[in-house]
Structure 1
Amino acid sequence: MSYQKSQLRAQLLAGRKNLTPQARAEANAALVAQVCALARDKKVAAYSPLATEPGGPSFADTLYQVTRQLWLPVSGAHGQLSWATYQGEGSLRPGALGILEPTGPRRDNAVLNELDLIFTPALGVTPEGYRLGKGGGYYDRALATTATCTAVLLFDSEINADIPVEPHDRPVDIVITPSAVHYLRQ
């Protein structure tokens, strides 16, 4: 299964890199509009996408403007995440994995239980909502003890029935693509 996941990760990453700048910008604009409508006036956890990831590099800034509170992950030792509030443009610094992270006081995963919505990164998702991440297990561990509603942002081509599912995988509740919002669980 690990080989199959590695192959799928490579294919999905290649698909993202092959998007034209215009196609990526259009997809990100549609995604962000849908996300903002969903997250408006809520307490939310999200992430700071890389340039090729759905949502684009300005995702956190835009989300910050419409939410009541925005928490972003901080990568820690042994695949653990902690969380800090986002304080606006310019408040992020490269973290241990080179991903932009907030620098303020941190909380453990228990903070996720106090939120309304959690946006998690993914490379792909099954039609049932089982996500394929990058393989580090950070989000699998972070989400294991929360019942807060979870959502992923993906490009339309990244819903894939061939993604293998393991016993520890937890499905997301909402899948957001440029063309639709798929509510899988209420």
Structure 2
Amino acid sequence: MTSLGELREAKTQWRRELGELRRSSAETTRSAEAESLRAAVLSWAARRKPGVVAGYVPVRGEPGSLAMLDALRESGWRVLLPVVVGAEPLEWADYTGADSLRRAEYGLLEPVGARLGQAAIAAADAVLVPALGVDLRGVRLGRGAGHYDRSLPSAAPDAVLIGVVRDEEFVDSLPGEPHDVRLHAVMTPGRGVVQLAADADLGRRVT
């Protein structure tokens, strides 16, 4: 049986390797991937009745873009963005466009509107979750701050949790701990939105 210390050391190693891979990607590659993700999320959203999606503003090379959030809003979706408050679960506020953001701690961009509290994530029909890596079982590897670990348990039971990563960050297996909230789907530039399960097929897309 793998000990907790060994699991955490394995996570550290994965963070190091995937972080280095992400930092080495060219700006032109990141721009092309951002456009592919915008198209993928737009295609996903178009097949659903508009609702509420909890998103994020990418920082430090994270995949995604403001254009992705704008595409959701233009499709009729309400977009919530996270607000970091110390080590607490994330709070949330509405995203109403690029001019509704301000620079915050850790180099983040956060919405300036009224904070809706930690429980606002429960209103989301879908949550776009930033990650360094996602595996076939829905295990997510974050940066280690734990904000999403503390926040995702408050999502609605029927909310779709979608990890957003680059194609090479979608891997067969990552070290997972019992408290990890498993994701239901992953979105990558090359594959679009793909459903995840213990016996997931790499080609199976979320419809």
Q: Deviations over 1:112-159 (max 9, x none)?
A: 222211101100011111100010110011111322111011111002
**Aligned-partner Cα distance in 1 for 2:71–2:83:** 19
Aligned pair partner of 2:25 in 19, 26, 34: 19
Aligned counterpart, 2:4: none
Q: How does 1:1-186 map to 2 (within 5 A)?
A: 1-40=7-46, 41-50=50-59, 52-56=61-65, 58-146=67-155, 147=157, 148-180=159-191, 181-184=193-196
CA RMSD of aligned residues (A): 1.8
The alpha-carbon deviation at position 51 of structure 1 amounts to 5.2
Which has the higher mean CA deviation after the structures are superposed, 113-122 or 16-25?
Answer: 16-25
- SS of structure 2 residue aligned to 1:44: strand
Contact 2:66–2:98 (Cα < 8 Å) also in 1: no
Contact 2:38–2:64 (Cα < 8 Å) also in 1: yes
The alpha-carbon deviation at position 21 of structure 1 amounts to 2.1
**Aligned-partner Cα distance in 2 for 1:73–1:9:** 22
- Normalising by structure 2, what TM-score? 0.82
- SS of structure 1 residue aligned to 2:186: strand
Count of aligned positions = 186
Cα distance change, pair 47–67 in 1 and its aligned pair in 2 (3 A): farther
**Aligned-partner Cα distance in 2 for 1:121–1:108:** 20
Cα distance change, pair 29–113 in 1 and its aligned pair in 2 (3 A): same
Q: Deviations over 1:11-62 (max 9, x none)?
A: 1111112112222222221111111222343311100001511113543334
**Aligned-partner Cα distance in 1 for 2:113–2:161:** 24
Which has the higher mean CA deviation after the structures are superposed, 110-119 or 165-174?
Answer: 110-119
Contact 1:51–1:57 (Cα < 8 Å) also in 2: no
Q: Which runs of 5+ in 2 are unaligned?
A: 1-6, 198-205
For 1:53, give the aligned amino acid.
E
- SS of structure 1 residue aligned to 2:194: strand
**Aligned-partner Cα distance in 2 for 1:144–1:50:** 23
- SS of structure 2 residue aligned to 1:38: helix
Q: Which runs of 5+ in 1 are unaligned?
A: none
**Aligned-partner Cα distance in 1 for 2:169–2:150:** 23
Which structure's CA Rg is the greater one?
A: 2
Which has the higher mean CA deviation after the structures are superposed, 136-145 or 154-163?
Answer: 154-163
Contact 1:43–1:67 (Cα < 8 Å) also in 2: no
**Aligned-partner Cα distance in 2 for 1:93–1:39:** 27
How many percent identity over aligned positions?
35
- SS of structure 2 residue aligned to 1:22: helix
Contact 1:79–1:136 (Cα < 8 Å) also in 2: no
**Aligned-partner Cα distance in 1 for 2:57–2:151:** 16
